[in-house]
Amino acid sequence: MKKRYLTLFCLLVPFMQTYAQTGKANAGLLAKADAALQLAAKQYKGMMAVLPANVLPKTTKSKDGSLETSNSGWWTSGFYPGTNWYLYEYTKDPIFKDEALKRMELVKKEQFNTSTHDLGFMMYCSFGNALRITKDTAYRSILLTSARSLCTRFNPTVGCIKSWDHGTWKFPVIIDNMMNLELLNWASRTSGDQSFAKIARTHANTTIKNHYRNDYSSFHVVDYDPATGKINERKTAQGAADSSAWARGQAWGLYGFTMMYRDTRDKKYLAQAKQIADYMLNHPNMPADLIPYWDFNAPGIPDALRDVSAGAITASALLELSGYAGKTEGKRYWSAAEKILNSLCSDAYLAKEGTNNHFILMHSVGSIPHKSEVDVPLTYADYYFVEALLRYKNLAK
């Protein structure tokens, strides 16, 4: 019994810390947040009414505007059930819980998947939220198995978790991988096995050393020699150029290092998160509404496409970071997050009820170089938007 309560406490710790400090809330934005969350609930009820039983939503097809879905093995499979958990948390309507549970049955088998680095996205966003909200410890073993599967991709010589098994790279590591470390930190807290957290810290430390330029912008891909740990090359897959700052990559790093500080209280992670935030917010190519272009060095600015997913991730991260930074910095990060949320709640980015294939946000960019998911809704943009709205409401209490 004591172990059960310890497990629950360990799960809740990061969420309690996230909401430990608050900025001054704006009444107008709080009203917009509620309106956006109510719209999100309506949109996702519409989504679940048309979504086939054996798939998960992904995006909108650019050719004909129809709904594009995925199987459970696609890296975004955890976001739809995760968003439904957030909406259940907000509305208390059991339809969202039932939908989350239904779709999690599809994702459950991925706990054994050792061919992907994205198990944090897939499993922690879905099963992690399920455990946090329901307190049902049956999810604990699924998450621990997921963490063990993720650890099989760690190479101690490189000091990182391998991202991809495809392409011409030898041992590619992408900045996105910072997001999957939260699963490992949780696994150490709940199991007492510090090997999970050691891998997470080692990966984060190697990322600071090798992924970041002097101005605190991030490369997308760093390819290593798995035998020696030496860097083969620094490239991009989804950005405008190898030397550019792909917007969502900057957002992944900001969120990931903020999370690492929350979980470890190691000040180097806080310093890294603040430097990334300052790079993004002070960038001369950051638009006035703080919804970034798909790449900070994209060709065609100011007519380049925006990436709403990068904006949503950034808003959620800045809200949390505002509580860890000093008073002056914290206020600046808080204000920036508010500005992003105000933008995302506007007609420019927020879909009308019944449109957008029932996704919440419009105008995200998956990969322009691959001509994939260009100027469409994306399931992870919805997830981090709803998360950011709930964080704002909780922090404002």
pLDDT value, residue 19: 41
* Burial call 130-148: b when 16+ CB within 10 Å, e when fewer: bbbeeeeeebbebbbbbbb
Angle at 39 between CA 38 and CA 43, to 5 degrees: 120
Which residues lie closer than 8 Å to 231 by C-beta, 6 or more apart?
210, 222, 223, 224, 225
pLDDT value, residue 279: 98
pLDDT value, residue 4: 43
- Interatomic CA distance for residues 302 and 351, integer angstroms: 23
- Interatomic CA distance for residues 143 and 119, integer angstroms: 9
Closest alpha carbon to 81 in 59, 62, 55? 55
- Interatomic CA distance for residues 46 and 175, integer angstroms: 34
Confidence of residue 373 (pLDDT cuts 50, 70, 90): very high
- Interatomic CA distance for residues 196 and 147, integer angstroms: 8
Segment 71-111, tens digit of pLDDT: 999 999 999 999 999 999 999 999 999 999 999 999 999 99
Fold of the domain built from segment(s) 26-395: Glycosyltransferase (1.50.10)
Residue 145 vs residues 14, 108, 142, 222: alpha-carbon distances, Å: 21, 11, 5, 27
Closest alpha carbon to 285 in 309, 307, 308, 302? 302
What's the DSSP call for residue 361?
Answer: B
Segment 18-63, tens digit of pLDDT: 444 456 789 999 999 999 999 999 999 999 999 999 999 999 998 8
Segment 343-364, tens digit of pLDDT: 999 999 999 999 999 999 999 9
User: Which residues are designated catalytic?
Assistant: 118, 176
pTM of the model: 0.95
- Interatomic CA distance for residues 189 and 13, integer angstroms: 9
Work out the mean pLDDT of the chain and round it to a whole number.
94
Percentage of the chain beyond pLDDT 70 is: 94
- Pair of tokens at residue 8: 């629950």
- Pair of tokens at residue 199: 């891998």
- Would you say residue 335 has pLDDT above 50? yes
- Interatomic CA distance for residues 321 and 222, integer angstroms: 26
- Interatomic CA distance for residues 361 and 168, integer angstroms: 34
Mean pLDDT across the stretch 236-265?
Answer: 98
Residue 168 CB-density burial (10 A; 0-12 exposed, 13-18 middle, 19+ buried): exposed
User: Do you find a cis peptide bond into 302, omega within 30 degrees of 0?
Assistant: yes
Segment 102-160, tens digit of pLDDT: 999 999 999 999 999 999 999 999 999 999 999 999 999 999 999 999 999 999 999 99
Residue 179 three-state SS: helix
- Interatomic CA distance for residues 131 and 8, integer angstroms: 8
Segment 175-191, tens digit of pLDDT: 999 999 999 999 999 99
Confidence of residue 7 (pLDDT cuts 50, 70, 90): very low
Segment 54-71, tens digit of pLDDT: 999 999 998 899 999 999
- Would you say residue 392 has pLDDT above 50? yes
- Pair of tokens at residue 273: 């998160």
Of the listed ranges 15-19, 44-48, 228-232, 270-274, the one predicted with least confidence: 15-19
- Would you say residue 8 has pLDDT above 50? no
Percentage of the chain beyond pLDDT 90 is: 92
- Would you say residue 161 has pLDDT above 90? yes
pLDDT value, residue 23: 61
User: Hey, where are the domains in the chain?
Assistant: 26-395
**Alpha helices per DSSP H over the chain:** 2-18, 27-50, 79-91, 94-107, 119, 129-134, 138-151, 181-191, 195-211, 247-264, 267-281, 308-322, 327-344, 379-395
Closest alpha carbon to 105 in 72, 148, 144, 143? 72
Which residues lie closer than 8 Å to 98 by C-beta, 6 or more apart?
none
- Pair of tokens at residue 359: 């996704």
- Interatomic CA distance for residues 335 and 395, integer angstroms: 13
Confidence of residue 380 (pLDDT cuts 50, 70, 90): very high
Q: Do residues 177 and 161 lie in contact, with contact meaning Cβ atoms separated by under 8 Å?
A: yes
Mean pLDDT across the stretch 254-276?
Answer: 98
Q: Do residues 320 and 254 lie in contact, with contact meaning Cβ atoms separated by under 8 Å?
A: no
- Please list the residues that pair with 246 across neighbouring strands: 295
- Pair of tokens at residue 386: 């709803």
Closest alpha carbon to 82 in 30, 139, 35, 27? 139
pLDDT value, residue 397: 77
